[in-house]
Amino acid sequence: MTRYLPLVRAALARRRARTVLTIGSVLIAFLLFALLMSVRQAFLGGIRAVGKRILITANVVSLVSPLPLADRTIIASVPGVRRVAYEVWFGGYYRRTGNFIFALAVDPPTFLAELRGELGLSPRARARWIADRRGVLVGNAIAQRFGWRVGEVIPLRSNVWRRTNGTNTWPVRVDGILRPSEKRYAQLALLHYHYLSETLAKNTGLSGKVSLYRVEIAHARDAAAVSRAIDARFANSPDPTRTSTARTFLLNFLDQIADIGTIVTAILAAVFFTMLLVTANTMARSVRERTAEFAVLRTLGYGPGRLFGLVVAEAALLVGAGAVLGLLLGLGLVAVLHGLLAAILPGLALPPSSFALGLALVVLFVLASSLVPYLQITRLAVADALRRE
């Protein structure tokens, strides 16, 4: 097919400004595509990585209502459950309430056992922290943000809890920095549950409680059955539970913030609809202008199929160039934004699946914008076209 390349190239060179502007429009569409897919990834990308064998058991009232710590042994006795970890929402901040820190008070051994390699924690730091009741593990994103180093003692404050001494400040020593592959954990800070519970003011009425349980099950396929079994155990207790997979739990929370998926799709639909119109119009005009040329080619023995092939190649070159440039530019921009927005929007990255989707969009674009030229070519009256010149 390469021998037709000069023909196709020549057609695109015919009106240089138009070609450049059309490629520009497609480029913008794919640049936005790259950006929005990255934003979507930042919000929803972590979901896929959430372990399928982790269930979350929370109070049926809402996720901010606590559960008794005593539930732990009951959950552990449910068939299919392998391990039970628990966590308490610490509501952490550093100095000002605006410096929010996603801090959890946990039981170190079980919590680490469940997340295993996902946290990117060195064995030494792990051992140090487990042994250090007043220790804290912090994600590299927050460590970087506040300039914390291992060994440093940080006055971590809580907007939820108060201490017996009347303050809301817990001095904690940084025992290790998490360098997780999963970007969500880069914002995490982990304290010892027992440090919190022992120093908690009695009048809070919340001692001996946890925010939620993280339940590891033996087989992912049992998730629904085990969830039902756990909830059944507590159905008639003062604190009934609602158990779901960690994925469902997280997805529901994100969905409450915003339906990012739908918003991204809607904007992209508007963008691509507009740009498709531009490309399709360019192709239609280009073919119409060359009606006589196509007629000449017909007299030289070019069939309609071959002429259409040339038009498709032309469209593919236009759209392909725009798409490749747009995606490349998008990759660069996402890399820059990733650095700039690390604190607000961690995990901003173009997911590999976008390239397949991008390719599908290119094919769709090419076919859609070749539709009018197809009609023009098949209905081309050669004799008339030559006379018109």
Partner 1 sequence: MTETAAQPSSEPLIRLERVSKSYRRGGETIQVLDRVDLAIPRGDFLALMAPSGSGKSTLLNLLGGLDRPDEGSILFDGVALESLGPRALTRWRATHVGFVFQLYHLLPVLSAARNVELPLLLQRLGRAERSRRVAAALSLVGFPDDRHTFRPTELSGGQQQRVAIARAIVTNPTVLLCDEPTGDLDRRAGDEILDLLVELNRRLDKTIVMVTHDPHAAERAHTLVRLEKGLVGEIRATSS
Partner 2 sequence: MHVLRETWLLLIVSLRSLRKRFDVALVATVGFAGVVLVLVAVLSMAAGFRHTLHATGSNDVALVLRKGSGAELSSTLSLDQARRVGDAPGVAVGAHGPEISPELLVLINRRERRSRILANVPFRGVSASAFRVHPHIHLVAGHLFKAGLDQVIVGRAAEESFRGLRLGDHFTSGGVRWRVVGVFGDHGGVHASEIWTDLPTLESAYRRGDSVSAVYARLVSPAAYPRFRANLLHNPELSVSVHREERYYAHQSRGLDRFITIAGTIIALMMGLGALFAAANTMYATVSERAREVAILRTLGYHAAAVVLSVVAESVLYALSGGVLGALAAFLFFNGFEASTLNNFSVVVFRFAVTPSLAAAGILFAGALGLLAGLAPAVAAARRPIAAGIRAL
What residues make contact with partner 2 under the rule CB under 8 A?
15, 17-18, 21-22, 24-25, 28-29, 31-32, 35-36, 39, 60-65, 91, 93, 97, 157-160, 162, 166, 168, 203-205, 238, 240, 242, 252, 255-259, 267, 270-271, 273-275, 277-278, 281-282, 284-285, 344
- Position 3 contacts partner 1 (CB under 8 A): yes
**352 Cβ contact list (under 8 Å, min separation 6):** none
297 binds, among partner 2, partner 1, none (CB under 5 to 8 A by kind): partner 1
Q: Considering the complex, state which of residue 250 and residue 382 has its C-beta at the smaller distance from partner 1.
A: 382
By a kind-dependent CB cut-off of 5 to 8 A, residue 51 interacts, out of partner 1, partner 2, none, with none
Give the long-range contacts of residues 327-332, CB within 8 A, separation 24 or more.
327/30, 327/31, 327/33, 327/34, 327/354, 327/355, 327/358, 329/27, 329/31, 329/34, 330/30, 330/31, 330/32, 330/33, 330/34, 330/35, 330/38, 331/34
- Cβ closer to partner 2: 65 or 353? 65
Length of the chain: 389
259 binds, among partner 1, partner 2, none (CB under 5 to 8 A by kind): partner 2
- How far, in Å, CA of 159 to CA of 322, rounded? 50
DSSP 324-368: HHHHHHHHHHHHHHHHHTTTTSTT----THHHHHHHHHHHHHHHH
Q: Does 304 bind partner 1 (CB under 8 A)?
A: yes
Nearer to partner 2, 78 or 275 (CB): 275
Number of residues that bind partner 1 (CB under 8 A): 25
| Pick 140 or 243: Cβ nearer partner 2 | 243
Lookup: tokens for 109: 């051994």
Place of tokens 């970007």: 183
Q: Which residues bind partner 1 (CB under 8 A)?
A: 3-4, 6-7, 10-11, 13-14, 292-293, 296-304, 306, 382-383, 386-387, 389
